[in-house]
């Protein structure tokens, strides 16, 4: 479904994924902040900001198949763990009259990057480096990648079932991070 300016906002947002909206809102927020602080009316083409988007390579149907295999005592055949890949996205600093243009541009960029081999390559490269050179080399490479990006975006969901910590149900988790080498 194509989101034209004449379309309903609700119908337009239904055609997007959570990642598209996350990237589009981040681009819009950073663009508005830049133009408000700088007072610049030109496009911010000379500004180079990059974000890393974490993408799950495991299909949602594969998760249900893994659960059924584990429950049927074929758990040794199941490969557990996360299968994550990364996409390096440019942050679009631009002026748009329609705020949905940020989300439309983000959808085009994310779809183009997801259909490329970038996600699979980053996953396979991380596994190969980890297995051949060990954890220190893998951590060094990930540290260098995150050092050269502006922000890290993720919408990875947590467990579906109820989680308890020391007998107390966990209602929500408010993550925060300190000390990541993000470039200012």
182 belongs to a structural domain: no
Whether 38 is covered by a domain: the verdict is yes
Asked if residue 97 is part of any domain, the answer here is: yes
Tokens linked to 155? 């919408």
117 domain-assigned: yes
User: pTM for this structure?
Assistant: 0.64
167 domain-assigned: no
pLDDT, averaged in runs of 10, over the chain (184 residues) = 53 68 86 83 71 77 65 61 80 83 88 86 86 85 80 70 79 63 50
| Region label for 61, one of left (φ > 0), alpha (ψ between -120 and 50) or beta (otherwise) | alpha
Q: How many domains does the chain have?
A: 1
Provide the token pair at 15. Answer: 């055609």
168 occurs within a structural domain: no
What is the domain extent for residue 51? 9-155
- Residue-wise over 132-158: b if at least 16 C-beta within 10 A, else e? eeeeeebeeebeebbeebbbebeeeee
With respect to residue 184, please indicate whether it lies within any of the assigned structural domains: no
- What's the confidence (pLDDT) of residue 184? 45
Would strands 151-153 and 50-56 be described as parallel, antiparallel, or unpaired?
Answer: parallel
User: Cα separation of 160 and 16, whole Å?
Assistant: 23
* pLDDT for res 1: 45
Answer yes or no: is 62 within a domain: yes
């Amino acid at each position: 479904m194509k989101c034209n300016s004449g379309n309903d906002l609700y119908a337009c947002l239904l055609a997007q994924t959570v990642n598209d909206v996350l990237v589009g809102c981040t681009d819009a927020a950073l663009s508005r902040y830049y133009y408000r602080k700088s007072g610049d009316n030109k496009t911010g083409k000379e500004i180079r900001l990059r974000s890393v988007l974490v993408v799950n390579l495991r299909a949602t149907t594969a998760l249900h198949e893994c659960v059924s295999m584990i429950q049927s005592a074929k758990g040794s055949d199941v490969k557990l763990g996360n299968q994550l890949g990364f996409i390096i996205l440019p942050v679009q600093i631009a002026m748009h009259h329609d705020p949905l243009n940020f989300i439309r541009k983000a959808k085009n960029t994310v779809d183009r990057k997801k259909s490329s081999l970038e996600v699979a390559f980053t996953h396979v490269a991380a596994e190969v480096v980890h297995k051949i050179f060990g954890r220190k080399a893998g951590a060094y490479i990930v540290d260098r990648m995150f050092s050269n990006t502006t922000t890290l975006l993720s919408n990875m969901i947590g467990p579906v079932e109820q989680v308890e910590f020391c007998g107390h149900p966990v209602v929500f988790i408010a993550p925060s991070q300190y000390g990541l080498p993000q470039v200012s």
